[in-house]
A and B are shown apart, each in its own frame.
Chain A
Amino acid sequence: MPRIVREAAVSWEGNVARGTGAISAVSSGAFTQLPYTVAARIGIPEGKTSPEELLAAAHGGCFTMSLASELTQAGTPPERLEVRCVVTMDEIEGKGHQIVHSEIEAHGTVPGCDEATFAQAAEAADAGCPLSALIRASATVAVSATLS
């Protein structure tokens, strides 16, 4: 299989407490100069993204594609999938800030698929999604799946 390479870049100005960074998608150009700050990362976002929000987008997006693939392979391609992903960062005593959990909630409209098969496909999607495998060094991943 070919290697797929994607790049993003950040510029940061000023110190941590009062500085601001800007995040851009270099490979696709799909987003540019998204501002982020420490205050918005650990407190109220106030319109600013954060590494954890981008990780939630990455993990949710990755899991959704995995689930579409599993359902298609099982002979029941999805009509529609809705996936929500919540990433939690916490301060762990002696270890500083860590990404501790990612919660995936999947709902699907899948003709010909029953609840048990959908739940099975969701489990297989978690096992096969590269992001799910990746973040388990510090985070737990929980998946729930129900048909709409």
Chain B
Amino acid sequence: MATDRTMSTTWHGTLMEGSGTIHAAGSGAFGTLEVSWPSRAEAPNGKTSPEELLAAAHSACFAMALSHGLAQAGTPAASLDTSATVTFVPGTGITKVALTARGAVPGLDESGFVAAAEAAKAGCPVSKALAGGPELTLDAALA
């Protein structure tokens, strides 16, 4: 069954001097988020950006896939911490996504955890959507 998620954005003015509002999430999970070019390209000053939202989407997708993979293998995680760092070069595009994973997983050794993290990195839907694009790196270790 297909799942749809909708977001809306309003923008006023030029790219360099204007500003935008990402409207409250359809899910209700977060309220309006302000965006602007200076906060996207320079210091964020409390404002999110498409690259940060992509990092949020990817780290969340990766964590879920890793949790699923570990459970399938009979070694469910007690807890996982993941992160995604997205690098954007204006004029070139999004060049890199660096994923990290730290896990507390009873009964699993380091190499087993790294293998599960590699599988999640390859298989999570956001990774598959980006496949062949930016460099995708992984740093995984037991906590």
What is A's interface to B at a CB cutoff of 8 Å? 1-13, 15-17, 19, 21, 23-31, 34-36, 38, 40-43, 45-62, 64-65, 67-69, 72, 77-91, 96-100, 130-131, 133-135, 137-139
Contact = CB atoms under 8 A, between A and B. Distances in A.
B128 A133 contact: no
Mostly, the B contact residues are mixed
Interface in B70-89: 71, 76-89
Mostly, the A contact residues are mixed
Contacts of B87: 3-5
A117 B86 CA distance: 33
Contacts of A55: 5, 53-54, 57, 126, 129
A128 to B, nearest CB: 9
Interface residues of B, number: 87
A60 B59 contact: no
Contacts of B80: 10-12
13 contacts: A1-B89, A6-B52, A8-B84, A15-B77, A26-B83, A28-B45, A30-B44, A61-B35, A68-B20, A88-B2, A88-B4, A131-B94, A133-B93
